[in-house]
Amino acid sequence: MSNKKGAYGTSGGGDTSFRKTWDRDEYAARAEERERKHKEESKARYEAALEGKKYHRRASTPPDARETEARSSRLDVASMVGKTMLVPAGAGIGKRGKGAGFYCEACDLTFKDNIQYVEHLNSRQHLVATGQTGEVKRAGVEEVRARLLWLKRKRDEETKEVVIDLDARLEMNREREEREREERRRKRNEKRRKTKDGLGHQEVKIENDGIIC
Amino acid sequence: MAKGDAFHKADASALLDDRGYSGALIRGQNPALLFEKGVRERITDSYYWKEQCFGLNAATLCDRAVELKFIGGTTGIMGKPTPFLCLAFKLLQLVPEKEILLEYLNFSAHSPEDVDTDNAGEFKYLRALAAFYIRLAWEPVDIYKTLEPLLLDRRKLKRRTKDGFTLTYVDQFVDDLLTKDRVCATSLWKMPPRSLLEDLDLLEPRESLLQEEIEALDEEGDDDVQIVGSEGDD
């Protein structure tokens, strides 16, 4: 009884306090925003008219859309070479769904070759599906300089590791191979431990395998 | 529209739109027209363009440019464009400001006081790319003023020809840009010759670094003639 609430979310007594109270600041801000937008648009419209062009209002972009950026690495088109995968029976027809080929996760499409795939990645459809605007931010001189400095540092670090002495290189190669072998051995052992009796997968050997006598 | 200045399209659709193009102009026309139509089409069809040139801006373009291994125009029977040409086309799309081009051209990791001709332009293929773009896009006086200092750069460049590779040098490439009319599968626009600009007092006469040597040679030559002449007199 003590906190009686009216239909519009107001509380307290009084004759007139049943009315909804408006947040004046918020609505003032909204009005200001709307006026500003209107002003901007009419200015753009006027400028376009001066240049003899027609003004088109830009479609509003969703607030969480991000700018398109350059690919940071090469597209890996060879990752699936030599692999076997199961595809649904109807996957051979059309691009829809996951099938054999280059699959785009966001758009649920499969492409048969890398050219089609990369064209799709650049397409408006894909950019919209992944929340990108399709527009790239312009870079200024400082950004260019920072980028070049970074590239220079990166290159310096890469060339620092290059050893020209032949003996040292042979030694490095041997160590690397040793490491890889160790890794393979470790994996094999793990696999063996995973099987039921710990004996690993026994090779099934049949006498005269495959030879017809 | 403030947004139009801060952003540009990730692909070349706006650039290749020959009726509704509204971007920056170079000498009053669409920058894409500086390349021939056939080359333009082959560039936009090429895999390198689609994969590596998508969404580049003036800063990320450096990533690609420092990884270039050769310059050149088109290769093979099909006229496949080289990455160098694709990036030049991208530059024509971006039309970066002069300062950015100068940064490409004369970048040095050293502090500004230590920069001299020896360590300027550390990435030579980026430098070649910027020089190529400058020759296409800038005004003649600026071209001569910015490209002539590059004639001191004697680093090697690998150049891809139609069916193989040849060796060239940065200075040689820049000289080609200044004197020839067809470089890297592109017809360079006709630039007024240096002598004309000198007559109009827009440029100072160029002092060649070899001037002294040439004069010395001339003097020696004169001496020889005199000696021969004096012998002849005797």
Q: Dump pLDDT digits (tens) for B158-217.
A: 999 888 899 999 999 999 999 988 988 889 988 888 888 888 888 888 877 777 888 888
With beta carbons under 8 A apart, name residues in chain A contacting B58: 138-140, 143-144
Residue A76: per-residue pLDDT: 81
Minimum distance, in Å, between the CA of residue A40 and any CA atom of chain B: 8
Q: Residues near A66 by Cβ (< 8 Å), separated by ≥ 6?
A: A131, A132, A133
Torsion sign, CA atoms A86, A92, A93, A94: positive
What pLDDT sits at residue A197?
67
Q: What is the reported pTM?
A: 0.72
Q: Is the pLDDT of residue B234 over 60?
A: no
Residues of chain A with Cβ-Cβ distance to B5 below 8 Å are: 138
pLDDT at position B225, please?
Answer: 52
The percentage of chain A sitting over the pLDDT mark of 90, rounded to a whole number, equals 17
Q: Tell me which chain B residues have a C-beta less than 8 angstroms from the C-beta of A118.
A: 47, 50-51
User: What pLDDT sits at residue A21?
Assistant: 83
From chain B, the residues in CB contact with A57 under 8 A are none
Radius of gyration of chain B (CA): 21
- How many residue pairs bridge chain A and chain B with CB atoms within 8 Å of each other? 100
CA distance to A140, A213, B121, per residue, from B139 (Å): 22, 87, 22
Task: Please indicate whether, in this complex, the C-beta atoms of A151 and B66 are within 8 angstroms of each other.
Answer: yes
Q: What is the pLDDT of residues B76-111, one digit of tens each?
A: 888 899 999 999 999 999 889 999 998 888 887 776
Q: What is the pLDDT of residue B232?
A: 41
Ranges in chain A, pLDDT < 70 = 1-14, 16-17, 58-63, 91-92, 196-213
Which of A136, A149, A157 should one mutate to test binding to chain B, selecting the residue with the greatest count of B CBs within 10 A?
Answer: A136
For residue A132, give the chain B residue with the closest CA.
B10
Q: What is the pLDDT of residue A42?
A: 92
Q: Which structure tokens are listed for A39?
A: 């002003």
Q: Quick check: A113 contacting B, CB < 8 Å? A: no
User: Which of A136, A137, A145 lies at the smallest CB-CB distance from B103?
Assistant: A145
The mean pLDDT value for B12-33 works out to 84
Min Cα–Cα distance to chain A from B75, Å: 20
| B209–A contact, CB cutoff 8 A | no
